[in-house]
Amino acid sequence: MNLKARLLYFVKPIFWGIIIALLVTNGAQFITVISSFLKTDTVAGYSDAVKKAAPAVVNIYSQQYLDSSLDNQQHLQPSELGSGIIVDKKGYILTNFHVVSQADQILIALQDGRLFTASIVGSDLITDLAVLQIKGNNLPVIPQNMQYKPQVGDIVLAIGNPYNLGQTTTQGIISATGRNGMSSSGRQDFLQTDAAINEGNSGGALINSRGELVGINTSEFSSNNNGFSSGISFAVPYKLSRRIMQSLISQGRVIRGSLGITAENLDPLLARLWGLKAQNSIIIKNIHPGGPASTAGVQVNDILLKIDGVEVENLIIAMDKVAEIKPGTKAVLTLLRKGNEIELEVEIGELNNIQALSRKEQDIE
């Protein structure tokens, strides 16, 4: 037996003896330490998500100059309460247009106690969105993930300042996506949720369980009969809000393409009964005289299958596709007319926001 083997022969028993002695004398502490490593939290919570997102959700106080009967002078008085979301380190804030539409001065209160005066970068009537900006250092920015796709059943949290009680978080799920027809223009692409949204929540954040921005809380549905909440709330999807924001920042307004037609989703059952090849598409119900579609030769009851080779399975897809095409650009429409597939070239026009808001039909932008 060599020297190394002899040393191991004598050292091993000593080593294990020391370990056993430590376990005997400090067994309780040893078990506590091991348990702390193995212990798992059995309570499922969303505090981490809220901690990530909440600092970037701000309180918005809109003020308006009003004539005073006391001294016959104008004074700033609160006119609207709402919330907003810091989405960029440059101080850009997303909120609802109706929160700031009548404001002569806009105050932004951060959760860390800082107070700022905001300027309006731009607003969009159709989506009821506005972009504000504040100047400050080390501004909190809400987590954003362009790859996230909202799905029915996803857990969501609504963060805002209801009734000026202070920042409040409510929980719900995404109940539906692509809820159009809820806005005054009939063309909104809402997320529907059962997370409670009250006065003051408008413009606040709807986040997922990772703290990522899902949408901008916009409105709560209530029955015309009693005015009470029905547990149904709506939010503008983050991806749509981001597109609107980028357009407002870069151009000062939202430029949307327009075909000048009114359409609706084609009922698959009726399509089968009529023997139509297309079952997931839209049918044209009206054509605005002198509009792009009218000039190109599109007819009522034509079925729109594709725009520039991209299938349009429903009205929302068609609206988004056309809206993103720059006005003046040529596009090819693939139509089904009396059983025959045809192609027409159309020059995309520009949607007028005021005209769009005055109409209730489902126009394709």
Query: What is the Cα–Cα distance from 9 to 176, expressed in whole angstroms?
Result: 71
Confirm whether 267 is a catalytic residue.
no
Q: Which of 62, 79, 202, 281 is catalytic?
A: 202
Please report where in the chains the tokens 């060599």 appear, as a residue: 2
Q: Tokens representing 58?
A: 């701000």
Confirm whether 98 is a catalytic residue.
yes
Q: Which of 79, 83, 98, 219 is catalytic?
A: 98
Which residue type occupies 28? A
3-state secondary structure (DSSP) of residue 96: strand
Confirm whether 183 is a catalytic residue.
no
- Sequential DSSP letters for 38-56: H----S---HHHHHHHGGG
Spatial CA neighbour of 111 closest among 66, 160, 70, 74: 160
Distances in Å between the Cα of 115 and the Cα atoms of 81, 136, 222, 243, 310 are 15, 10, 33, 28, 48
Residues whose CB is less than 8 angstroms from the CB of residue 326 and which lie 6 or more positions away in sequence, other chains included: 255, 257, 348
Angle between helices 27-38 and 3-25 (to 10 degrees): 90
Please report where in the chains the tokens 């050292």 appear, as a residue: 11
Q: Which of 62, 79, 123, 128 is catalytic?
A: 128
Which residue type occupies 317? I
Residues acting as catalytic residues? 98, 128, 202
